[in-house]
Structure 1
Amino acid sequence: MKFRIIAAALAGALTALAAAPAAHAAAPRTFATEVSGTCDTTTGEWVVDWAITNESDTAALLILMESTPAEAALTSLPWPQGGATEHAIQRIPGASTGAHLTYIAVWTDFPGGSFRSSTEFTPASVCEISSPA
């Protein structure tokens, strides 16, 4: 009888151990990138806000692959912790046709995996300096 109880407890523990990595591996490994732009009429530039959300429960390193336009490219990105949103602000010329951001997220746990994101900002119009009234 004592042996059956120990065997059942051991079997339950082994099942829990086997399920734990599977549950962890099933966690979403994605980022969401939302972009918005505001016309700064004092400078005639678009202020582009790249809101980057780590939808995983684990920290990740963001590797900047491409940022346009070249004359106003981002040089780095924030590192959102698991479940957090960070912002990268970019100022582009008011007459620009838009901006582009591509990055790769690499998770810091093993085996972490990676995720590639590519997002565009297209302004609705030209942003111009407003003249004083």
Structure 2
Amino acid sequence: MSAAQRSALMSLMSRISSKDTGPELALRRLLHAAGYRYRVHGILPARQVAQLRSSHPEIPLRGGKLPGSPDLVFSARRKAIFVNGCFWHGHDCPVGQRRPASNTGYWNPKLDANIARDQRNLDHLAALGWESLTL
């Protein structure tokens, strides 16, 4: 791949959104139609953030968000939903198990770090008393 082709590809990939993706919006529509109300992108009410910070100072709540910034948050029920891409988060489906064959020195550590970060965030949520679901 030439430098110009790689640059064009990177420009295209930079436009892929990490928030408000198609699967996430579809899930939101279904839940809202079913009568569920939620917050998006891991944001919590300020009062709840203060309570969590005082009871668990060892767990970082950056920007008033839950660890991992769940896509949907049901704060009254203490439940969080993550809508993750299979490739980036190493799910055990065929797409999640396939890794790039080229440049493995870059991709394997990157994908392994994503999986470790996701598990750390789920552990933090459990320690805070939250249940989580990953789709």
Indicate the TM-score class for this superposition, using the shorter chain for normalisation: under 0.3
Q: Give TM-score, length-normalised by structure 2.
A: 0.27
The one of the two structures with greater contact order (alpha-carbon pairs below 8 A, sep at least 6) is 1
Q: Give TM-score, length-normalised by structure 1.
A: 0.28
Larger Rg: 1
Q: Which has the higher helix share?
A: 2
Q: Which has the higher strand share?
A: 1
